[in-house]
Structure formats: structure tokens, C-alpha cells
Amino acid sequence: MKICFNEATTMKKSTLELDLELCSKYGYDFIEIRIDKLNDYLQKHSINELVTFFNNNKIKPYAFNALEFITFRDTNAYKKLKDDLQFICEVGTRIDCKKIVVVPSFGVGYTKTQIKEETARVLNDLAVIAEKYDVNLAFEFVGYPDCTVNTFAQAYDIIKTVNRTNVGMVLDCFHFYSMNSKIEDLKSADPNKIFIFHIDDAEDLPVGALRDNNRLLPGEGVINLDKILQTLKEIGYQKMASIELFRPEYWDWEPEKIIKIAKEKTEAIIKKYFSL
């Protein structure tokens, strides 16, 4: 299993440039690039500099995070979303980063049927654009009660319905745990449909009460990560694990400290089930 760093973990004090330098120093295999950090980077640097960096270093880009709230958008917002997708696909082609995380919208009142139809329609539509660049879309459900897609089973059903080779999903342990997704649903999943695996842990809050700021380093919270990793091993998923934390406390740490500790904590649990 390859180890990846998701830049949300150092949201406040770091930059793409610094994340790359530190992740390289601590031996991460991959980085998930945040689109906001990419845009900041491009204020002062060129895409060519990024190309050169990845050519000269072992660490490689794995995915972009994230195109958010892709469903139930008005005409103007949807057009902007498609423009953003096209831009990210173009950057992805240059730096050989061929996955983009896409996130459903929030809002209550839609039926599950309406959500499935809208989400499948949008994923198909965006996938046509991404396909031209050989880019894959990784759909990430969010384990909040008011997210339109908030369990593994609901997300998996949608991507199976879309049934395109360039549309899969993100399995994020935090989102999986927070709305009580079922391990049986993961057990029956096709590992090839899991494009990205986000690893993290959570504080001990009731179902529906967890928010991203309650994330913890792997092994420090209440999520049964052993069960999830065991299940991934059983179904044959072994591509990568990306550490993704949105905890303000960690954002206040020096980036080097969290990047170093996150790697150690992630490897400690991963290596119980997979070779690194």
C-alpha cells in the first residue's frame, strides 16, 4: 500500500510548495493536491515548475481535491463548475495527475430517487469532459446528515448506476463511520471502484454529530480502522491510503510536525495489514 498526503491536513500554515518539500523529505509516495493551494501556487509559479518538481522527485501527484457541491446547481454555477473541471483536467494532463475528487451538494428535502437521478446525471455529464483528458472522477460521499449522499451504500449505488470506467468513489474512514455506513456494503464492493482511500480517525460523538474538525490521527480515535483495513485486504484493495485531517488543532502545528507524525501513525496501522 502506497502512502499519500492530503493537503487538507496542513490547511492553515502551509503551501503547495512547502507540502511538496516536506512530504518528499518524509518519504510519502503521493500527494493529493488541494485546488485552492494549487491556485495560490500558480500566483507565483508556473505549471512548468510543478512538472520539473515531479520529474526530479520520487513523490508523485495522485489526485486533486476537490470540485465541491456538484449537484443541484443553477445554470451559472454549473457552467463555472465545468470550466473549473476543464482547467483542472488541463493541469492534470501536464503534471500526470489523473484523478479529481468530486463532492455532492448539501441540502435537505430531496428524495433519494431525485438525488440518485441528479447525481448520476451530473457525474455522467462531467465524466464526458474528464474522459477527453483520460481523467477519472472519484465521488466522495460526506458523512453529514444534510449531505445529499452520506453513506457508502448510497454512493456505491450511484456510481454503479453511472457505470463508467472513469467514475469511481472515495472511501473516507471518517465519512464511513460518521453516518454508520455498513462494513457489509464495503465487503461486497468492487475494489476497482474505490479510486481513493482516505484514512483518518474520529472523536467519540454520536451518529450525525461528527464534523471535519473532529478528525483525529489514525489510531487516536474510535473508528474501527482495523475492520476497514481488514475488509479492504479481503476484497483486494491495496493501492493507496491518503491521510486527510481537517483538525484546527493540527493546522496550528508546524507543518513539518504534522506531516512527520501523520506518516508515522498511518504507516503503523497500515503495516498491520499491508506491505508498504
Using the rule CB under 5 A, give the single segment among 92-100, 117-125, 126-134, 191-199 that binds Zn ion.
Answer: 191-199
Using the rule CB under 5 A, give the single segment among 152-160, 161-169, 176-184, 198-206 that binds Zn ion.
Answer: 198-206
Nearest-approach distance from CB 253 to Zn ion, in angstroms = 20
- Residue among 21 and 200 whose Cβ is closer to Zn ion: 200
Using the rule CB under 5 A, give the single segment among 126-134, 147-155, 167-175, 226-234 that binds Zn ion.
Answer: 167-175
Rounded to whole angstroms, the Cα distance separating 217 from 270 reads: 13
- Residue among 19 and 172 whose Cβ is closer to Zn ion: 172
Nearest-approach distance from CB 201 to Zn ion, in angstroms = 13
In order of 5, 24, 260, the CA distances from 255 in angstroms are 12, 13, 9
Written in H, E and C, the secondary structure of 99-161 is EEEECCCECCCCCHHHHHHHHHHHHHHHHHHHHHCCCEEEEECCCCCCECCCCHHHHHHHHHH
Nearest-approach distance from CB 38 to Zn ion, in angstroms = 17
> Could you tell me how many residues of this chain bind Zn ion (CB under 5 A)?
3
If binding is defined by CB under 5 A, does position 198 make contact with Zn ion? Answer: yes
- Residue among 66 and 135 whose Cβ is closer to Zn ion: 66
Nearest-approach distance from CB 221 to Zn ion, in angstroms = 15
If binding is defined by CB under 5 A, does position 193 make contact with Zn ion? Answer: no
- Residue among 53 and 152 whose Cβ is closer to Zn ion: 152
Output the CA angle 203-204-205, nearest 5 degrees.
100
CB atoms within 10 A of CB 90: 12
Rounded to whole angstroms, the Cα distance separating 15 from 62 reads: 17
Query: Residue 244 in contact with residue 198, Cβ under 8 Å?
Result: yes
By CB under 5 A, the residues from 224 to 253 that bind Zn ion are 244
By CB under 5 A, the residues from 24 to 53 that bind Zn ion are none
The DSSP letter of residue 85 is H
- Residue among 21 and 263 whose Cβ is closer to Zn ion: 263
If binding is defined by CB under 5 A, does position 118 make contact with Zn ion? Answer: no
Rounded to whole angstroms, the Cα distance separating 69 from 105 reads: 4
Nearest-approach distance from CB 119 to Zn ion, in angstroms = 17
Q: Tell me the angle at which helices 35-44 and 16-25 cross, rounded to the nearest 10 degrees.
A: 110
- Residue among 81 and 102 whose Cβ is closer to Zn ion: 102
- Residue among 4 and 115 whose Cβ is closer to Zn ion: 4
Q: Give buried/exposed letters for 165-196 (b at 16+ CB in 10 A, else e).
A: ebbbbbbbbbbbbbbebeeebbeebeeebbbb
Rounded to whole angstroms, the Cα distance separating 128 from 135 reads: 10
If binding is defined by CB under 5 A, does position 172 make contact with Zn ion? Answer: yes
Using the rule CB under 5 A, give the single segment among 18-26, 52-60, 196-204, 247-255 that binds Zn ion.
Answer: 196-204
Q: Point out which residues bind Zn ion (CB under 5 A).
A: 172, 198, 244
